[in-house]
Amino acid sequence: MHQRFIQSRRQFIVERGRLYFEHCLVLTLVTFLMNVLFGYTVQTSMFIYLPILAMVVISLWLIVFNSGSAKVIERGLILSDKGKCFIKFGQEQHILWQHFAGFELQGWPKTVVISSTKLGQEAITFSNNTFSPEQRRVIFEQLRFKQAQLTSQTQERPSKDQNTHNEHA
């Protein structure tokens, strides 16, 4: 098994739009509260405009210039025989299947969390909107299959206590 899921340009723009909407909503609410509590000042209005401007500039740069042979993968997931690898702006995060603790959807907006049993290893997290519905369907099928496989393997292996108990019976 070696499947590679790369976030499409369209999906990147949709996810960024949703993210900006959420951030702008929070910044607007904070600015409104600051204006109500402390009165309108140029500093409070800059509190909302500068982060929005920064988000727009960075996204436009990625949309316009992230192409060709030097293209950075914005988001991607590779499922192989060894494990999973999540790619975020070219940075890779790996979890081997032997350390796979499962996955779940958390919070609102939905976030996919792929957990590891390895001590100190961070979980892989990404927005549920990172990949297209078809890509998500295949990813979730593969993760559920692996999760079921690992669950059945751990249930088949009797624990040390069970072996000792069976020998004394």
**Residue 29 identity (one-letter amino acid):** L
Question: Degrees (nearest 5) of the Cα angle 78, 84, 85?
Answer: 60
Q: Is residue 167 in some structural domain?
A: no
Whether residues 63 and 79 fall in one domain: no
Instruction: Provide the residue range defining the domain that includes 121.
Output: 75-156
Q: What is the CATH number of the domain that holds 128?
A: 2.30.29.30
Indicate the helix (H) or strand (E) that contains 115: strand 111-116
- pTM higher than 0.75 for the full model? no
C-alpha–C-alpha distance, residues 113 and 125, integer Å: 5
Whether residues 52 and 94 fall in one domain: no
C-alpha–C-alpha distance, residues 88 and 126, integer Å: 9
pLDDT tens digits for range 12-66: 888 888 887 887 788 778 777 877 777 766 666 676 677 778 877 877 777 777 6
Whether residues 140 and 96 fall in one domain: yes
Strands 91-96, 100-106: pairing kind = unpaired
pLDDT tens digits for range 145-166: 888 887 777 666 655 555 544 5
The pair of three-digit structure tokens given for residue 144, joined into one six-digit string: 């559920």
From the CB of residue 138, how many other CB atoms can be counted at a distance below 10 Å? 14
Q: Which residue has the higher pLDDT, 116 or 50?
A: 116
Q: Is residue 145 in some structural domain?
A: yes
Q: Which residues partner with 96 through β-bridges?
A: 83
